[in-house]
Amino acid sequence: MKKINLYAFADEASPQLDGQIEALKKNGLDGMEIRNIDGASVSEIPLEKAREIKSRLDAEGLAVWSVGSPIGKIHIQEDDFRVHTESFKHTLEIARILDSRNIRVFSFYMPEDGAECCKNEVIDRLGFLCEIAKGFGIRLCHENEKGIYGDIPERCLVLHQALPELGGVFDPANFVQCGVDTRQAWELLKDFVCYMHIKDAKRDGWVVPAGMGDGNLPFLLGEYRKNGGRCLTLEPHLAVFDGLVKLERETDQSMVHGGVYRSNMEAFEVAAQALKKLLEE
């Protein structure tokens, strides 16, 4: 079986680039899905900063597999999409500098009266972003985040069928936290999955190391590899880390244990070892 390339949200090990590089190399990973660096979201860093990051990672033999952007994490009705589009264009420039061919995106927070009324607007907006990304040779990959339009597999399918150019990021823990059976979700979405986020959770919502929750990780990893999948992003969420609060709305925050591990670096290592053990089985 071909080698699996392992990447990670290394900001969960350290907020600083030096610490992120240390965590990646210590755990034998191939690179990162870049999200937060030196206290700033990847979508906010200056282009010169992105060039410095690229130089450092190249020197260490590490790659940026995907840009873990916050694009699409705005309210579909209440926030200004035009301003958000400018942030997206800047993110595309950053991805090009970092030589990343993927940008992780979301499908917008929904109003309280439901998602169906916003379906066409979501498709139009994501289609618009995909069209811009084509000019950069970059693929947008939609993640099934809680609270957005595509938080359940049926609505993810709607997006992929309407937008064939939109890739999928399959996050088992997010589905579990939405009360979804991940096996059924996989059967529905497997033809659209570009890569997976390795995050597991119990049915009560608490995040746990890969294989210890109800996300059916052994099954999913086997099916992903049989389906030709070659890249995974580790997203530990086993400890509270700098920037976690900014990633989610207060009503949708992940249930992350605090104080279980002596440090974020230790929690990151536990997550990495759990994933590697699953891949060996």
From first to last of its 281 residues, what are the pLDDT tens digits of the chain? 578 999 999 999 999 999 999 999 999 999 999 999 999 999 999 999 999 999 999 999 999 999 999 999 999 999 999 999 999 999 999 999 999 999 999 999 999 878 999 999 999 999 999 999 999 999 999 999 999 999 999 999 999 999 999 999 999 999 999 999 999 999 999 999 999 999 999 999 999 999 999 999 999 999 999 999 999 999 999 987 776 655 666 555 556 666 578 899 999 999 999 999 999 98
CATH 3.20.20.150 assigned to domain 5-280? The reply is: yes
3-state secondary structure of 130: helix
Instruction: Please give the DSSP secondary-structure letter assigned to residue 152.
Output: S
pLDDT recorded at residue 246: 59
The enclosing H or E element of 67 equals: strand 63-67
Measured CA distances, 126 to 73, 169, 254 (Å): 12, 15, 25
The predicted pLDDT at position 251 comes to 55
Angstrom distances, CA of residue 36 to CA of 62, 69, 82, 154: 16, 9, 23, 30
Q: What is the pLDDT of residue 186?
A: 98
Report the predicted TM-score, pTM, of the whole model to 2 decimal places: 0.94
Measured in degrees and rounded to the nearest 5, phi and psi for residue 254 equal: -65, 150
The domain ranges of the chain are: 5-280
Residue among 253, 220, 219, 259 at smallest CA distance from 238: 259
Question: What does DSSP assign to residue 32?
Answer: E
pLDDT at 114: 84
pLDDT at 5: 98
